[in-house]
């Protein structure tokens, strides 16, 4: 090992130590200061977040599983699929997300448990924020289907893999089982909503077209006012059908619907074939998503990093994606942004917005995502940022 390689290794080791320390400190602070959402009591307060333990649920590493619920207007319900990465083979399964890996800029693909830190991402930001007066969804009831399985919420498999420690492990792709158990809770708490928003960010955004039919068919068939939102769901991969069928072991009808390397588009085409324009469809993305481009670079070049080349490729793919969704339905609403964050986005643009602070704070064409989404669920679907796809 030469001097340069040793220096890189030392930098990574230091980054891992710092990142793991910070994550551990956040976890400890949340527990010590009693910041963990309480379990749902028999008589819950309105507009307060609670945890609901799912006894039959399981996170990827075999630990327990829970969801979050907020009880508010019984007529307005948002079913939200949380994101948190994806695992599609042994290599990615062996590299779950840790604070240390993120800080050291090492490959890290998915959250495999619901440790305290993950609560911040689930219920404190964006559309989930109860304290933000600009959030128009504060009065909506919400069930947040947490994510810690790496399978787009559709898996039903116990997947063996060799970890980085060279020991044998099992990744529990139980996303679909967790979903079914979560929907039982949803129906118990929110029996007859009149408006339904089915939304997701990142990995959860892929889920929306995959599981909407089951939600409407088996749980809420009486709801006619339905809006769908996929926020950041574009990752081309030629083996999606194989992954869903053989790695995640998703239900057959979900696997059968995958007809291309664009899994999101395949699932939306399948959903639209059944429901047509009875539903409102929404899609959002930034132009050079720094997270999804790193995944795409890893899939195509075995390099888990974003750079200008893959960001340019993503923009081209996004143009095609928007074109195909508009061809599916001309009323498919789009929110395209080019937001950046210093250092964080690494020359690219943000990854997701619906569950981020900039949900209400940033604007594109003078319209926030919060305003665009609120208008859409109330019947006014329109496009924002389409000019960004013309360059």
One DSSP character per residue, 150-211 reads: SSTT---EEEEEE-TTS-EEEEEE-HHHHHHHHHHHHHHH--S-SEEEEEEETHHHHHHHHH
Report yes or no: 309 and 359 within 8 Å, Cβ to Cβ: no
Please name each of the domains of the chain with its CATH number: 3-389 (3.40.50.1820)
Beta strands in 308-375 (DSSP E): 333-337, 363-364, 367-368
**Rounded CA gap, 339 and 249, in Å?**
36
Show the low-confidence residues of the chain (pLDDT under 70).
1, 3-9, 11, 391
Structure-token pair, residue 187 = 């129906």
Residue carrying structure tokens 């643009």: 349
Q: What is the pLDDT of residues 244-275, one digit of tens each?
A: 999 999 999 999 999 999 999 999 999 999 99
Q: Read off the pTM.
A: 0.96
Work out the burial of residue 12: count CB atoms within 10 Å of its CB; fewer than 13 is exposed, 13-18 middle, 19 or more buried. middle
How confident is the model at residue 5, as a pLDDT? 63
Structure-token pair, residue 87 = 């695992």
Contacts of 338 by beta carbon, 8 Å cutoff, 6+ apart? 286, 287, 288, 349, 364, 385, 388
**Rounded CA gap, 200 and 368, in Å?**
18
**Rounded CA gap, 113 and 319, in Å?**
35
């Amino acid at each position: 090992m030469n001097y340069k390689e040793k220096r890189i290794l030392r930098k990574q080791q230091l980054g891992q130590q710092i990142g793991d320390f910070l994550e551990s400190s956040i976890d400890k602070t949340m527990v010590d200061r009693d910041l963990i959402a309480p379990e749902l009591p028999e008589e819950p307060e309105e507009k307060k977040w609670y945890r609901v333990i799912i006894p039959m649920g399981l996170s990827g590493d075999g630990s327990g599983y829970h969801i979050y619920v907020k009880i508010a207007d019984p007529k307005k319900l948002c079913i939200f699929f949380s994101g948190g990465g994806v695992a599609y083979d042994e290599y990615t399964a062996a590299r779950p997300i840790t604070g240390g890996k993120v800080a050291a800029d090492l490959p890290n693909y998915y959250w495999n448990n619901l440790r305290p830190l993950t609560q911040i991402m689930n219920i404190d930001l964006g559309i989930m924020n109860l304290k933000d007066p600009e959030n128009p969804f504060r009065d909506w009831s919400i069930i947040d289907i947490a994510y810690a399985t790496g399978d787009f919420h559709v898996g039903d498999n116990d997947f063996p893999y060799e970890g980085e420690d060279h020991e044998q492990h099992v990744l529990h792709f139980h996303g679909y089982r967790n979903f079914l158990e979560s929907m039982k809770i949803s129906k118990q708490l929110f029996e007859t909503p009149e408006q339904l928003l089915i939304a997701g960010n990142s990995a959860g955004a892929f889920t929306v077209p995959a599981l909407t039919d089951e939600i409407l068919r088996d749980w809420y068939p009486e709801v006619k006012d339905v809006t769908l939102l996929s926020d950041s769901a574009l990752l081309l991969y030629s083996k999606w059908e194989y992954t869903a069928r053989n790695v995640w072991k998703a239900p057959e009808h979900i696997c059968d619907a995958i007809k291309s390397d664009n899994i999101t588009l395949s699932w939306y085409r399948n959903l639209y074939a059944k429901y047509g324009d009875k539903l409102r469809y929404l899609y959002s993305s930034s132009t050079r998503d720094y997270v999804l481009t790193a995944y795409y670079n890893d899939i195509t070049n075995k390099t888990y990093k974003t750079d200008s080349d893959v960001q340019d490729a993503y923009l081209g793919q996004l143009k095609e994606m928007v074109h195909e969704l508009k061809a599916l339905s001309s009323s498919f609403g789009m929110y395209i942004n080019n937001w950046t964050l210093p250092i964080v986005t690494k020359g690219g643009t943000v990854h997701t917005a619906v569950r981020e602070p900039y949900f209400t704070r940033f604007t594109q064409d003078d319209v926030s995502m919060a305003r665009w989404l609120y208008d859409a669920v109330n019947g006014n679907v329109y496009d924002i940022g389409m000019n960004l796809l013309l360059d």
